[in-house]
Amino acid sequence: MKSSTLKFLSIVLFGSLILNMMACEDDQTTEMPEPNETEIWTGTTITFEKVNDADPNDEANQDRLTDNVWLTRGNDGGQIYNAKSENDASKNTSPSGTQWALGTIDNVDDLDFQSFRSTITPKQAVGKDLVLFLPADNVYLSVKFTKWSSGKGGGFAYERSSK
């Protein structure tokens, strides 16, 4: 190609880029949240329950908090796990994609977040105020277990805050 043709094409491409940038500026009618913006769910209280022997693979027996975290409990009597990323519970790391702390959402900045089992033993969780952090979603919510079945069966229930 001749240099005059290349120069012409460069000018056309540059002009097109400028016009596209100007058009995009006019389309900014809604504010997008910051990518790392933290959400604290303090909405209506939701009650979730999985009864003994209910299929943990059934969506009805999973509390699907976000696209990344679906809490349930297996029928072997283990602890809760994240059905989105785990097939069953691991005592030291489940539920994956979560961090827990004893306390209330009002004190979220002062809480020490750890794995579920490092925070509390499941049988002792009933009646305690807990805060759940979902790192992938950057969300905090309140959780209070109201039931934890002993032995096999996998039943449990809790109340939690919503978006």
Q: State the average pLDDT over residues 4-17.
A: 52
> Is the predicted pLDDT of residue 29 greater than 50, yes or no?
no
The pairing of strands 80-82 and 99-102 is unpaired
DSSP string, 93-143: TPSTT-EEEES-GGGGGG---B-HHHH--GGG-BT--EEEEETTTTEEEEE
Q: Assign 151 a pLDDT band (cuts: 50, 70, 90).
A: confident
Residue 10's pLDDT is 53
Structure tokens at 33: 């949240």
> Is the predicted pLDDT of residue 34 greater than 90, yes or no?
no
- Residue 50 and residue 63: Cα distance in Å, rounded? 9
Length of the chain: 163
Q: Please indicate whether residue 13 or residue 157 has the higher confidence score (pLDDT).
A: 157
Q: Assign 33 a pLDDT band (cuts: 50, 70, 90).
A: very low
Query: Could you report the per-residue pLDDT of 64-114, keeping only the tens digit for each?
Result: 999 999 999 999 988 999 999 999 999 999 999 999 999 999 999 999 999
**Residues facing 63 on adjacent strands:** 71
Question: Of the given ranges (11-25, 27-41, 42-56, 92-106), which has the lowest mean pLDDT?
Answer: 11-25
Residue 77's pLDDT is 84
Q: What is the pTM of this model?
A: 0.78
Structure tokens at 26: 């006019």
> Is the predicted pLDDT of residue 8 greater than 60, yes or no?
no
Structure tokens at 134: 């979902």
CA angle 75, 138, 46 (to 5 degrees): 50
> Is the predicted pLDDT of residue 30 greater than 50, yes or no?
no
Cis check for the bond before 122: say yes or no (omega within 30 of 0): no
